[in-house]
Every structure is written in C-alpha cells, then in structure tokens.
Structure 1
Amino acid sequence: MNSADVLADAFGRVQETVHEAVKGLTVDQLAARLDDKANSVAWLVWHLTRVQDDHVSEVAAAEEVWTEQGWYERFELPFPAAATGYGHRAKDVAALRVPPTLLLGYYDAVHERTIDYVRGLRDADLAAVVDEAWTPPVTLGVRLVSVISDDLQHAGQAAFIRGVLRRR
C-alpha cells in the first residue's frame, strides 16, 4: 500500500460516514438544528464538501466541482459561489435546506474528483509545499490530511445530530 492508497482509503471512510449521516433523512430533518445557534446535518455536510472541493481543487489546479458542474446553481443558496461556510452565522445555516439527493450528489462528485486526484499522486508529491502562509509551510500531504481530519470531524458531528433526531 502506498500513500495514494492510504489517502484514498481515508477519503472513502469520509464518504461512508457522510452517507450514513444523511441516509433516510428528510429535508426537514437535514435542516433541523439542536438549538438556534447550532449547525444542521445539511450545513455540516455542505460545508465539509465545500472545503474539500476548495482545497483539493486548489492543489490540483482545477476549477471547483461546485461551479464547474453547476452545483452552485442547483443549490440556489443566498451565498456567493466562493462561500465555503467559514464565518457563516445562524441565519446562513438556516438558509441551507436541500434534499438529500442534492446534498449527496454534490458530495459524491467532489469525492470522485478527490479520489481521481489522490490516486495519481506519488509518495514524493506529498512533500511539495502548497501554502507558504503558515510556519512551517504546508505541504501537500499535510493539506490532504488536514482536509480528511476536518471532514471526519464534521461528518461525526452530522452523525451525532442524526442520532439525536432519530431518537426524538
């Protein structure tokens, strides 16, 4: 197993967790929040997908799936196309009401792009510096692991909310 295989496996685990968190939920359940300031399952999955799309597209020197494949228009959100959820407030979270098929469709399109990208990486590629704004500078390997970590945290939050909603 090489680094590309490990990364693909990790992103595959994110996909499994995302699908489990969303599967069988209605639009209302996806948009439900545990309190007025909490995130919803829909927002968490949209946000983790937007961040993955943004970060992987940047290192792959490709247009984001969000705009390239027309997902921005399909979601019809009151945010700019470049929005990823950073800095969103409660009203922004509440604005995200989408069917599970749309949410998972976008997630799966980003996942496919991500897997295609990481499968083409060689171990030596992971040492390339992709962001010099940090000390130490961020390498491709660190950026991808960071995306996986962030994705799993948000997917876990979505799974927790799902559990609470299903027990109600």
Structure 2
Amino acid sequence: MSGIEVLTDGYGRVREVVHEAVDGLDEAALTYRVDPAANSIAWLVWHLTRVQDDHIAEVAGLEQIWTAKGWYERFGLPIDPAETGYGHDAERVGIVRASAEVLTGYYDAVHEQTLRYLATLTDADLPRVVDRRWDPPVTLGVRLVSVISDDLQHAGQAAFLRGVVERGR
C-alpha cells in the first residue's frame, strides 16, 4: 500500500465519522452545547471542514470550496469568508448554525476535492516542503496527516456530543 493510499483511506475514515455524528440530527441537536462555552456538533463539523478545505486548497493551489462553490452563501453565517474557526470564542461558536444536509454537503464537497487532489500525487510528492514557518519546515505528507489528525479529533468530539444529545442531554 502506498502512502497516498494510506492518506486516501484516512480521509475516508474522517468522512465516515462526520456522517455518523451528523446524519439525521435536527438543528437543535446540532447546535446543543453542554456548557455555554462548549463547542456544538455544528461548529465542530463546520470547523474541521473549513480547516480541511483551507489546507488542501493551499497545498493544491486551488480555490477553497467554501467560496468557489457557494458554500459560504449557503451557510449564511455573519463571518468573514476567510474564517476557519481558529480562535473562535463562545460567542463565535454559537453563531454557527446549519442543517445536517448543509454540513455534510459541504464536507462531502471538500472530501471530493481532497480525493481528486490526492489522486494527482505520488509518494515522491510527500517530502515537498509546503510551509517554512515551522522548524522543521512542514512537508506535504506531514500537512496531509495533520489535517486527518485534527479532523478525526473534532469528528470524535462531535460523535461524543451526538451520544450526549441522544441520551437526553
């Protein structure tokens, strides 16, 4: 199995967890917060999708799905289109509201762009440096793995919250 095949599998696992965490929930469940300062399922899935969209578009030299395919308008959030959720405080978390269909629709569009990009790569591409702001500089392989890691953490948090919601909060 090649490194690209492993990465493709990893992104597929993120998609599975995102759908398991979101599918069938109404907006009240998606925006439920166990504490006023806590994240909601909607925010977690929106954020992990925004990060994947941002990071993949950057390394692939593509426009983000968020703006290129009208998802910013579909969400209708009162935020700057460049926001990914990094640094959001409790108030900013609370403004992220969307249906399960919109959340998974956006995620699936980003997932498809990710898979199309991965299909253009070979293992020889993975050592390419994509970010020199870190020491050591970040390679493409490390960036792609870090997105999977971050996404799975947030998707797991969303899955946990789904369990809380389904058990009656």
TM-score category of the 2 structures, normalised to the smaller one: over 0.9
The equivalent residue for 2:19 is 19
**1:1-168, aligned counterparts within 5 Å?**
1-168=1-168
Letter in 1 for 2:59: V
What is the DSSP-based 3-state SS (H/G/I as helix, E as strand, rest coil) of the residue aligned with 2:130? strand
Structure 1 contact 5–119 (Cα < 8 Å) conserved? no
* TM-score of the two chains, using structure 2 as the length reference: 0.98
Letter in 2 for 1:57: A
* Structure 1: runs of 5+ lacking an equivalent: none
* Structure 2: runs of 5+ lacking an equivalent: none
Query: C-alpha separation between the residues in 1 aligned to 2:106 and 2:23?
Result: 14
What is the DSSP-based 3-state SS (H/G/I as helix, E as strand, rest coil) of the residue aligned with 1:62? coil
For the aligned residue pairs, the C-alpha RMSD in angstroms reads 0.5
Measured after TM superposition, the shift of residue 82 of structure 1 is 0.1
Structure 1 contact 127–139 (Cα < 8 Å) conserved? yes
Structure 1 contact 126–139 (Cα < 8 Å) conserved? yes
Letter in 1 for 2:63: E
Letter in 2 for 1:61: G
Superposed structure 1 runs of 4+ greater than 6 Å apart = none
Measured after TM superposition, the shift of residue 120 of structure 1 is 1.5
Measured after TM superposition, the shift of residue 43 of structure 1 is 0.2
Measured after TM superposition, the shift of residue 48 of structure 1 is 0.2
Deviates more, 1:148-157 or 1:89-98: 89-98
Query: C-alpha separation between the residues in 1 aligned to 2:4 and 2:87?
Result: 32
Measured after TM superposition, the shift of residue 2 of structure 1 is 1.1
* TM-score of the two chains, using structure 1 as the length reference: 0.99
Letter in 2 for 1:27: E
Q: How many residues align?
A: 168
Measured after TM superposition, the shift of residue 91 of structure 1 is 1.1
Query: C-alpha separation between the residues in 2 aligned to 1:99 and 1:14?
Result: 19
What is the DSSP-based 3-state SS (H/G/I as helix, E as strand, rest coil) of the residue aligned with 2:47? helix
Query: C-alpha separation between the residues in 2 aligned to 1:99 and 1:11?
Result: 22
Query: C-alpha separation between the residues in 1 aligned to 2:131 and 2:98?
Result: 33
Letter in 2 for 1:76: G
Letter in 2 for 1:50: R
